[in-house]
Amino acid sequence: MLGVARRRLGSGCVLAQLAQALRPAAAPARTYSAAAKEITVREALNTALDEEMSADPSVFLMGEEVGEYQGAYKISKGLLDKYGPDRVLDTPITEAGFTGIGVGAAYHGLRPIVEFMTFNFSMQAIDHIINSAAKSNYMSAGQISVPIVFRGPNGAAAGVGAQHSQCYAAWYAHVPGLKVLAPYSAEDARGLLKAAIRDPDPVVFLENELLYGESFPVSAEVLDSSFCLPIGKAKIERQGKDVTITAFSKMVGYALQVC
């Protein structure tokens, strides 16, 4: 047990000084050089996909309308023309089917990116996500890696019903073996999607439909093709000393407005 003498030292005391000394220093803000330009979250995701597919031929994209239609939200714009139908695959409307194919491809060393038109539809494929992708590394004692990304819009959306506007962050965050990411800004979306694609484990990448068209300033460093953010490290959007507000996805914007 640590004993502390309460003797006075001027206007302070040993206890207060000890508490100050033991208080952890604030983590440095994750910031970059001055902004070079502004890009939308949609552009950030599109360029991240493009650069990772260009850098690694094992990366491919599959999902409903990701090819000819260039994605329901145009995230995959231009990718079919550049990489062809072998790497940008339009699938039937059967989430269980193409998600299972994606997991199987990951078992064999490929790096599939499975797009759900909305994450509400991932419920049709949840057996493959939880019982196959998430558990395989543990069940094989680390011998099997499943490098797959499940991505698409999640949470509140515009003009849709309750079945199309649910948030699955808490659901998937409680599944051992899954890494769950929910970016806010263009910088986060670009850097974290690249990290998700490169990761050896299954990643659930939750975007927000209402953020796709929002523009954010980004630096030249963020625009470089080598840019990538670490998974599992929180970002300090604004420094302070009195109150800590934590948020993810679109709620980061609301948190910044009130503080």
Contacts of residues 180-184 at CB distance under 8 Å and 24 or more positions apart, as own/partner, are: 180/204, 180/206, 181/205, 181/206, 181/231, 182/154, 182/206, 182/207, 182/208, 182/248, 182/249, 183/41, 183/207, 183/249, 184/211, 184/248, 184/249, 184/250, 184/252, 184/253
| 57: its two tokens | 């031929």
Instruction: Please indicate whether residue 95 is annotated as part of the active site.
Output: yes
DSSP letter at 129 equals I
- Among the listed residues 43, 64, 95, 115, the single catalytic one is 95
Gap between the Cα atoms of 136 and 133, Å rounded: 6
Pairwise CA distance, residues 181 & 20, whole Å: 34
Query: Hey, how many other C-beta atoms are within 10 angstroms of the C-beta on 210?
Result: 16
CA dist 101 and 142 (Å) reads 21
Contact 259, 85 (CB under 8 A): no
Annotation says 108 is catalytic: no
Q: Which residues of 241-257 are buried (b: 16+ CB within 10 A; e: fewer)?
A: eeeeeeebbbbbbebee
Query: What is the rounded CA–CA span in Å between residue 99 and residue 132?
Result: 10
3-state secondary structure of 143: coil
Catalytic residues: 95, 164
